[in-house]
Amino acid sequence: MTTKDEIQELLHSTETYRVERTTSSGDMDKFQEAICAFANDLPNSRKNGYLILGAYDNGTLAGLKVTDDLLKKIVAIRSNGNILPIPVMSVDRFQFPEGDLLVAEVSPSDLPPVRYRGRTFIRIGPRRDIATEAEERILAERRMSFMATFDTMPCLAAKLNDINTDLLRTKYLIPLLGNELGESDTRPIEEQMAAVGMYDTEHQCPTYAAVVLFGYKPRHFMPGLYVQYVLFKGEDVTSEVENEMQLEGNYCELLLRLESLLELSVIKKKPVFVSILREEMASNYPYQAIREILLNACMHRDMQNNTPLRFYEFASHMEILNAGGLYGNARPENFPSVNDYRNPLVASAMKTLGYVNMFNRGVGQVQTDLKENGNPPAEFNVNLITAFKVDVKVSQSYTNETGGKVGDDIPCLSQVLSLFLSPVERNAVEEDGVCN
């Protein structure tokens, strides 16, 4: 709230678009229209507006006595449901020898247009009016520009020392800007981070993207930011657990741990029969496909959700379930042709770090890799609304009981011996019925 000295200056202010003075104390419609107009801030000054009760237009006081009842009535305007979205405002009483002033300080809304009983009021110089269609469109467009994604918002609970700034510089800033430019940048680290959306200078704190990518303890600020891996012996979550672990840390650490988990534990290979004298290695899952699915889950997850990224491996399939359904322009009817980014700053950083390409070709490449490895196509469940689920079945080549590829037959002994025997000897073997 502003001070008493500032109120005295506002009484004589020439900025009429942000100050309304009145001697009335009972015209609630007038007061609410004024508050609505200040919240819309049509000039886009981003300055607070002031409704001052108890003063004439020339700034002199009218000798008003501000009672507790009047104060409560004005305070109730904020949440009585007549003005939507609810305005950000504060109300206070100031006492002077000439009389009292009741001042309602209104902040410009980040979600315009703000309406009072369905009508959009705006301030045009010293007067208040109803917005035209063109003016409403301006406010609606401004609303879109104010809607920041979660990863670009300030993490108010975090401080600069919660971020590994050395890691941020070496892994992100220098590769992003180039070695020469990155190493010659002598600005304070806060300014360097702010230039790439990793620091909020207004609130003097890192953004959520900085915490996710380079924070020392990101789960302290986002409890659900980890991967829960469970290996089940059977086909569902009721079966016995064979292995379990939680992978956490900032994305520079977490994504490396995910890759190591895939390479060392999840992706398995074994030799399978191809021909009489040749065999080849078969894999239960293609490494690149599963890596792509997991990286996309990390990139697109709803980071405000406390649900971890669930990575469950069963005897014959795996499930990857991620908090946050399809986002923005991506919808069930156009998936996977159309994509959108819930966390664009994190996605851009993951590209710079070398984990993703952002070419919107991930799903198609996953299906191609699965087919080449002998796996059925991945099943994408995009109808869960609050989550996104991928189901991948194990390779048929890997699980074929004969040890070979699907459709291949194991050669009988006579076929093997025929490679080394003369025609007469082969006929003798066949007459003996070795294969029967």
* The pLDDT of residue 424: 63
- Taking alpha carbons only, the member of 148, 144, 256 closest to residue 207 is 148
pLDDT confidence tier of residue 406, bands split at 50, 70 and 90: very low
Rounded to whole angstroms, the Cα distance separating 294 from 228 reads 12
pLDDT at 131 over 60: yes
**pTM for the whole structure:** 0.65
3-state secondary structure at position 274: strand
Which residues, 6 or more positions from 8, have their beta carbon under 8 angstroms from its beta carbon?
A: none
pLDDT at 411 over 60: no
Sign of CA pseudo-dihedral 403, 408, 412, 418: negative
In terms of residues, how long is the chain? 436
pLDDT at 418 over 70: no
- Taking alpha carbons only, the member of 302, 288, 262, 254 closest to residue 362 is 288
- Provide mean pLDDT across the span 285-302: 94
Q: Is 260 exposed, middle or buried (0-12, 13-18, 19+ CB in 10 A)?
A: exposed
Report which listed range, 115-124, 177-186, 248-257, is most confident: 248-257
What's CA 221's distance to the chain center, in Å? 14
Q: Which residues pair with residue 241 across a beta bridge?
A: 232
* The pLDDT of residue 405: 46
Q: Is the preceding omega at residue 113 within 30 degrees of 0, hence cis?
A: yes
Q: What is the mean pLDDT of the chain?
A: 87
Q: Tokens 């959108």 appear where?
A: 340
Token pair for 148 = 């920041």
pLDDT at 262 over 90: yes
pLDDT at 218 over 90: yes
What percent of the chain is predicted at pLDDT more than 90? 58
Rounded to whole angstroms, the Cα distance separating 311 from 321 reads 7
Rounded to whole angstroms, the Cα distance separating 8 from 21 reads 12
Judged by average pLDDT, the poorest of 80-89, 347-356, 417-426 is 417-426
Query: 128 vs 32, 34, 40, 275, CA distance in Å?
Result: 11, 7, 11, 86
- Provide mean pLDDT across the span 238-260: 95
Reported for 412-417, long-range contacts at CB under 8 A and 24+ positions apart, including other chains, are 415/276, 416/276
- Taking alpha carbons only, the member of 407, 299, 433 closest to residue 360 is 299
Give 328 or 167, the one with higher predicted confidence: 167
Token pair for 242 = 């064979």
* The pLDDT of residue 100: 94
HSE at residue 216, side-chain half, CA atoms within 13 A, is 9
